[in-house]
């Protein structure tokens, strides 16, 4: 479980580190934005691996369902031409999912 916590800390800290470096280097802002995709990928892998190891955990099932719903809605929105209201609704969801998984990871006792 410690390894999962370290990976989650790395995933959360990477964009923050690049954002802090952007004070000295403007290109670091682009790297911070790009590293957000890596953060999402790492967190989805962490969440799915935790769900695979503990399939009866309700919180992990909610997380996996929320991630699936987010990507489904994103694909539907892209296919329909990006409705503004749906885009605004989808924008904060990855941040909420990252916080939710982090709470799950740091509160799990294994």
Give the pLDDT band of residue 80 (cuts 50, 70, 90): confident
User: What is this structure's pTM?
Assistant: 0.85
Question: Under 8 Å CB-to-CB from 1, ≥6 apart: which residues?
Answer: 108, 109, 110
Question: Is the pLDDT confidence value at 100 over 80?
Answer: yes
Kindly tell me if the per-residue pLDDT of 66 is higher than 80. Answer: yes
Quote the CA–CA distance of 58 and 56 in Å, as a whole number: 6
| Residue that the structure tokens 């929105």 belong to | 77
């Amino acid at each position: 479980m410690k390894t999962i916590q370290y990976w989650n800390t790395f995933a959360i800290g990477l964009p923050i580190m690049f954002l802090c470096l952007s004070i000295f280097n403007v290109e670091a802002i682009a790297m911070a934005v790009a590293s957000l995709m890596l953060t999402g990928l790492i967190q989805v892998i962490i969440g799915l691996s935790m769900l695979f190891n503990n399939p009866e955990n309700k919180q992990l099932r909610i997380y996996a369902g929320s991630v699936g719903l987010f990507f489904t809605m994103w694909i539907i929105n892209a296919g329909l031409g990006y409705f503004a209201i749906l885009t605004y609704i989808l924008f904060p969801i990855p941040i909420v999912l990252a916080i939710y998984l982090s709470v799950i990871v740091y509160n799990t006792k294994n």
